[in-house]
Amino acid sequence: KEHVALTLGVIDDGGPVLVRAHSECLTGDVLRSSRCDCGEQLADSLRFLQQQGRGILLYLRQEGRGIGLTKKISAYALQEQGLDTVEANLALGLPEDMRDYRVAAEMLLDLGVWRARLITNNPAKIEGLELYGIEVVERIPLRMSPNPSNVGYLRTKREKMGHILPQSVALQLAGGRLGQLE
């Protein structure tokens, strides 16, 4: 699989570089699915990179947390039966997350970047890059607005995968009620 690095401005001056390591999500990035927040994360990251005038978007070809599109669609079917995203992967005999950030770190190092200001809510991404030689000097959070279709997904990311999401996120649910991720 071919991964992509989109660069903006001077990135090889030795200073920390703004980086978004984004895992491919056909359903969210292209088809704009509301089941996840991937498309919003990609769009917001690109806007932020452009505002800063300097940075890198790594588009990593590891669809569905690394399980691939076909298995991701099978996991969606299990989610329709009530499983969350982690439970669905496990029911398919897969790990909850198969992504590896070695190639992302190699790409950054090839671009002359070894210090990053990482746009992410995922601590595993920080650990993964640091494991392969990238110093993450700052985490820049993504602040996505939940919708009724992805509240369970976001809850699972926070509770089971350790993603750092806002402590209190108001959600408009069916019937006009407000709830929270907490």
Whether 56 and 6 have beta carbons less than 8 Å apart is answered as: yes
Query: Of 58, 45, 72, 52, which is closest to residue 3 (Cα–Cα)?
Result: 58
Q: Which residues contact 24 (CB under 8 A, 6 or more apart)?
A: 59, 60, 61, 62, 63
- Distance between terminal CA atoms of the chain? 38
List 20, 37, 97, 158, catalytic entry? 97
Q: Establish whether 139 is a catalytic residue.
A: no
* Residue where the block lists tokens 């030689």: 133
Q: Which one of the listed residues 20, 99, 155, 158 is annotated catalytic? A: 99
Here the tokens at position 60 are 């990593």
The answer to whether the CB of 143 falls within 8 A of the CB of 161 is no
φ and ψ at residue 116, rounded to 5 degrees = -130, 145
Could you confirm whether 97 is annotated as catalytic? Answer: yes
Residue 83, class by beta-carbon neighbours within 10 Å (0-12 exposed, 13-18 middle, 19+ buried)? Answer: middle
The one-letter amino acid at 67: I
Catalytic residues: 97, 99
